[in-house]
Structure 1
């Protein structure tokens, strides 16, 4: 699952790749420097989609939405997997 913290990490990496300072990116995307700093360092609890889109656009990247790859396993499935793993360990 994509989190705001992971988005911040990716924004920071792309910004650095492009050789932009936080101040330059913040100005170009019309967001506060302190907001960008908090986003990149995982200290931001929430950020509006329009600000994220402006940051991504300024970096030349896009956000795509797609169906998740799968569902979370049930407790029974996890327990069965654990039993299988333990069974494999005994065979060695």
Structure 2
């Protein structure tokens, strides 16, 4: 089926960008390694909807149904992912993490002096799709390869002793 081939390609690309093995992804979403392998290689016959959604969610992907009539927000453009991420990471803190500080931290793989807890919160708690949106923005703005950005975040997460499964 064409849909499985498209989903499989997206899964393989994102998994590879994140530096995860098929076995690790299977473990994180409760599927067999064979299922992930078959999906990525287009040889899967069927996949339960709940399993597909769980797999995509682990990788920060989703199934999108387009609205035939664009919303005002879509027409005017969205808030850049880095700004949204910086605000989200600042929710529990008095001081607000500037998007530029988050950008610098993620591009250099170093925690900013006054905002270490904020960046840890982003790495530990942001939805995978939000992290993926930040990776996409940084990739397009700087030309840094996606896999490098994911690896930098993984290094930061490990150095910051975060507990999120896909950083381990």
Q: Same fold (TM over 0.5)?
A: yes
Q: What residue ranges of structure 1 are gaps of 5+ in the alignment?
A: 69-92
Matched positions, count: 67
TM-score, L = length of structure 1: 0.67
Q: Report the counterpart of residue 56 of structure 1 in structure 2.
A: 56
Partner of 2:29: 29
**So what's the TM-score if we normalise by structure 2?**
0.38
Say what the alpha-carbon RMSD is for the aligned residues. 1.6
SS in 1 for 2:14: helix
1 or 2, which has the higher helix percentage? Answer: 2
Regions of 4+ moved over 3 Å: none
Larger relative contact order, structure 1 or 2 (CA cutoff 8 Å, min sep 6) = 1
Give how far 1:67 is off: 5.9
Q: Residue in 2 aligned with 1:4?
A: 4
Q: Distance in 2 between matches of 1:45 and 1:33?
A: 15
